[in-house]
Amino acid sequence: MWSKTRPRRPAAFDEELLALAAAVYDTAVRLTRSAAMAEDLVQETFARAVAAAERFEPGTSMRAWLLSILMNLFRNHQRARARHPEVELDEEALPAVEEEPPLPFAAITPELLDGAVAGLPERLREAVVLRDLQGLSYLQISEVLRIPVGTVMSRLYRGRAALRKLLVPGVLEVAGKRFSGSGP
Amino acid sequence: MNTSCESVRQWLPAFVDGEALPLGRAQLESHLAECAECARRVAALGGFVDGVARAHRARPLPERLRRELERTVRGGGVHDVRRRLVPVLAAAAVLLLITTVALAALRPSAARAATLPEAAVLGHEGVLQGSTPLDVAESDPLALSGWFAARLPFRVHLPRLDNPQLHLRGGRVIQVGGSLAALVVYAIGEEQVSLAVVPRSQELGRPPATAAEVFRDIRFEFTHLRGLHVTTWDDGGLTYSLVSSQPPQGGASCTVCHGPGSGLRGVEGFHEPR
């Protein structure tokens, strides 16, 4: 514990924290879909991380720890806005993908990906961003989102299916092919 | 599909992601070696996940934010020097708080704008003064429409510009009450003109209009806020507020955007507000 007599915080902690700033900002932008709100969340995330540095357990993932703080702040922000919920895709209306005809996913561009991720329903977007963009494990995601690992797997499955569906037209266009219209 | 496939398929994503499996990894690999369909699914999912990872480009960290974070982290440690400065910092914080409260009382923040016209005016001023700069500088209407589409739960279709004096500068996501709105910023010569857009269902009210005009069943309301001229109207599912330091000039104002090559309906017949 760092108390009045505790030693100075290790410099390595600060360096690792700052090295993760871009990843935290990228996640915040994708969660909020607003650069201005993302900046506010990231500043608050780092302020809280510094204030609660003694709670970080060395040897564990600082990325997952920071993203947990970010997610808590984002949840609080969303609760404050609960009276005016965003209009989003109904995640139940997004079909699960059983059949997956081969598609040229090497043709996914950063712009296509940005648009498709932003179009995902919030819960599915969280799972996809944390796993496929930030590389967290299922267990880390379950801790960040405070949900069981089974729910992580379910959301990730549906999130990837929805992401694939959103990407297909653009990917086919980029690849110079015609969209068959038979679904993802 | 046989029983073995059924028991295996729910774990294929975890296998692709390198996660722990309830059945042994070797056991699953052995199944894949014998089952072409399961192997195809693994390849398809793996290709998709790889494609997403390759396409991912982290949003660049704004330089100003990076400096702020460095100050927070490097200056936010528990250092002896800082402890000595605590009383000074506390006094400064109190002074800052009093100043902030006083300023806030005099000037509402964009975050507290309750109506679209107010948010439009505060956003307009913020961009003009540089206190809340554009989120994105973009001169192509299609590209800016796409930028908003990726950030807002509604679509903003910006028209093509065929007026050589009118230039699209960029956009910013602003807040109206608890909702997100688009702020589109144009320049006409030295003059800045801002257009705020929010879904009609999210609009919470409007300041009283000083004049109004109905044209093609659309009611245009005119008002003055903080010395700026604001025109507000509903069209389709969206509400718009246009802000300028110049008063609207009937159809002449509208034709700035609704020119012949804009792709928008013409506005012949629109006259001065009454």
pLDDT tens sequence across B138-170: 888 888 888 888 777 778 888 877 777 788 999
Confidence of residue B7 (pLDDT cuts 50, 70, 90): confident
At residue A7, does pLDDT exceed 80? no
Q: Percent of chain A scored above 70 by pLDDT? A: 79
Q: Per residue in B116-146, pLDDT tens?
A: 898 899 889 888 888 788 888 888 888 888 8
Position of tokens 């002449």? Answer: B252
Mean pLDDT of chain A: 82
pLDDT tens profile A122-155:
999 999 999 999 999 999 999 999 999 999 999 9
Q: What is the mean pLDDT of residues B159-188?
A: 84
Q: Which helix (H) or strand (E) holds B39?
A: helix B36-55
Among B19, B50, B52, B127, most A C-beta atoms within 10 A, so best to mutate, is B52
pLDDT digits (tens, 9 = 90+) for B22-45: 878 888 888 899 999 999 999 889
The pLDDT score that the predictor gives to residue B132 is 80
Which of the four pLDDT bands, split at 50, 70 and 90, describes residue B67?
Answer: very high
CA triple A136-A138-A140, angle to 5 deg: 55
What is the reported pLDDT for B28? Answer: 87
Name the pLDDT band for B66 (thresholds 50, 70, 90): very high
Can you tell me the mean pLDDT for A39-57? Answer: 92
Residue that wins the pLDDT comparison between A165 and B133: A165
The nearest alpha carbon in chain B to A85 belongs to: B179
Please report the pLDDT score of residue A50 as a whole number.
92
pLDDT in tens, A84-125: 444 444 444 444 445 556 678 888 999 999 999 999 999 999
**Residues B100, B53: Cα–Cα separation, whole Å:** 44
Higher local confidence (pLDDT), A132 or B204: A132
| Residue of A8, A118, A137 with shortest CB distance to B151 | A118
pLDDT on residue B144:
87
From the list B44, B59, B154, the residue facing A25 with the nearest CB is B59
Residues B2-8, mean pLDDT to the nearest whole number: 72
Asked which of A94-98, B96-100, B216-220, B257-261 is least confident by mean pLDDT, the reply is: A94-98
In a 3-state reduction of DSSP, which class is residue B58?
Answer: coil
Number of neighbours of residue B93 by Cβ within 10 angstroms: 10
B209 at the A interface (CB within 8 A)?
no
pLDDT higher than threshold 60 for residue A10: yes
Judge contact between A64 and A110, C-beta under 8 A. no
Question: Chain B residues with CB inside 8 Å of A156's CB?
Answer: 13
* Residues of A in Cβ contact (< 8 Å) with B200: none
The DSSP code sequence of chain A is ---TTPPPPPHHHHHHHHHTHHHHHHHHHHHHS-HHHHHHHHHHHHHHHHHTGGGS-TTS-HHHHHHHHHHHHHHHHHHHTTTSPPP---GGGSPP--------GGG--HHHHHHHHHTS-HHHHHHHIIIIIT---HHHHHHHHTS-HHHHHHHHHHHHHHHHHHHHHHHHHHTT----SS--
Q: What global pTM score does this model have?
A: 0.53
Average pLDDT over residues B182-200: 89
Give the best residue of B6, B40, B56, B138 to mutate against chain A (max A CB count within 10 A): B56
pLDDT of residue A87: 43
Six token digits for residue A183: 């679904």
Q: Which residues of B touch A175 (CB under 8 A)?
A: none
B96-116 mean pLDDT: 58
Query: In terms of C-beta distances under 8 Å and separation of at least 24 residues, what long-range contacts does A132-138 make, across chains too?
Result: A132/A160, A132/B49, A132/B52, A132/B53, A132/B56, A133/A26, A133/A27, A133/A30, A133/B52, A133/B53, A133/B56, A134/A23, A134/A27, A134/A63, A134/A67, A135/A63, A136/A61, A136/A63, A136/A64, A136/A67, A137/B19, A138/B14, A138/B17, A138/B19
Q: Which of A5-9, A177-181, B226-230 has the lowest mean pLDDT?
A: A177-181
Candidate ranges A74-83, B166-175, B244-253; pick with highest mean pLDDT: B166-175
Task: Answer with the residue of higher pLDDT: A21 or A102.
Answer: A21
A138·B60 Cβ contact <8 A: no
pLDDT tens-place string over residues B39-62: 999 988 998 999 999 999 999 999
| Number of CB atoms found within 10 A of residue B120's CB | 30
CB contacts, 8 Å: B56 with chain A? 110, 113, 132-133
The predicted-structure confidence for B72-101, as pLDDT tens digits, reads as follows 998 754 443 344 445 555 666 677 666 655
**pLDDT at position A154:** 93
Average pLDDT, chain B: 78
Mutate to test the interface with A, among B42, B50, B59, B155 (most CBs of A within 10 A): B59
- Name the residue with higher pLDDT: A148 or B256: A148
